[in-house]
Amino acid sequence: MRVTLDLSTARWRKSSFSGNQAGDECVEVCDDFPGMVPVRDSKNTTGPVLLLNRAAWQTFINGVKDGSL
């Protein structure tokens, strides 16, 4: 299924664990869309956006926290 969202006014945020140095690898997420989590590369803010449902996002977060990813 293809879903299109208007992200032109989205408020993106980076993890507080991200560094502020040039070249830092980080993703940005947006909390403005209930049930969905838009994710983008912080170094390419005009590039593609992944759109994950909340369950998939939580699985990703859990994997990062437990070291399986």
Please give the pLDDT value at position 3.
66
Structural domain boundaries enclosing 34:
27-69
Q: Does residue 7 form part of some domain? A: no
Q: Does residue 10 form part of some domain? A: no
pLDDT tens across the length of the chain (69 residues): 676 778 888 999 987 666 666 656 788 999 988 899 999 988 898 999 999 999 999 998 899 889 998
Q: Does residue 1 form part of some domain? A: no
**Phi-psi region at 26: left, alpha or beta (left = phi > 0; alpha = psi -120 to 50):** beta
**How many residues in total does the chain contain?**
69
Please give the pLDDT value at position 52.
93
Q: Does residue 4 form part of some domain? A: no
- Dist. CA 5–CA 9, nearest whole Å: 11
Q: How many domains does the chain have?
A: 1
The answer for residues whose C-beta is within 8 angstroms of residue 34's C-beta and 6 or more apart is none
Q: Does residue 58 form part of some domain? A: yes
Q: Does residue 14 form part of some domain? A: no
Q: Does residue 17 form part of some domain? A: no
Please give the pLDDT value at position 4.
73
Which pTM was predicted?
A: 0.76
